């Protein structure tokens, strides 16, 4: 999650992660005064890496997003991650 102008360097600081089985949940809260972005990063070998990004601007009526991150493993392959954002 990013706040501010498109391709801004500043990352929103979440209040903290909630650990759950197989991963974690993080909830972000927004104020309508700033632009907010959901950013997906692809192509890395570990969580948070990757040089391919997709930026999607969130509507001003959205006040929170829950990011659900889960790890899953396949035999004989590196760890994969699944991330789902639920925004309201």
Q: pLDDT digit string (tens) for 33-43?
A: 888 899 888 87
Quick one: pLDDT at residue 8?
75
Quick one: pLDDT at residue 48?
66
In whole angstroms, give the CA distance from residue 65 to residue 61: 12
pTM greater than 0.85 (yes/no): no
Structure tokens, 36: 């907010």
In whole angstroms, give the CA distance from residue 73 to residue 50: 19
Quick one: pLDDT at residue 10?
62
**Looking at per-residue confidence, does 86 or 10 come out higher?**
86
Query: Which segment of 2-11, 13-22, 26-35 scores lowest on mean pLDDT?
Result: 2-11
Q: What is the DSSP string of 44-75?
A: -SSTT--SEEEEEEPPTT--EEEEEEEEE--T
Contact yes or no for 36/57 (Cβ under 8 A) = yes
């Amino acid at each position: 999650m990013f706040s501010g102008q498109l391709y801004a360097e500043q990352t929103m600081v979440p209040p903290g992660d909630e650990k759950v089985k197989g991963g974690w949940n993080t909830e972000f809260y927004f104020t309508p005064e700033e632009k907010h972005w959901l950013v997906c990063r692809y192509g890395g070998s570990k969580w948070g890496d990757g040089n391919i990004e997709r930026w999607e601007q969130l509507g001003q009526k959205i006040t929170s997003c829950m990011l659900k991150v889960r790890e899953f493993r396949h035999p004989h392959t590196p760890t994969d991650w699944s991330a789902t954002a639920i925004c309201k």
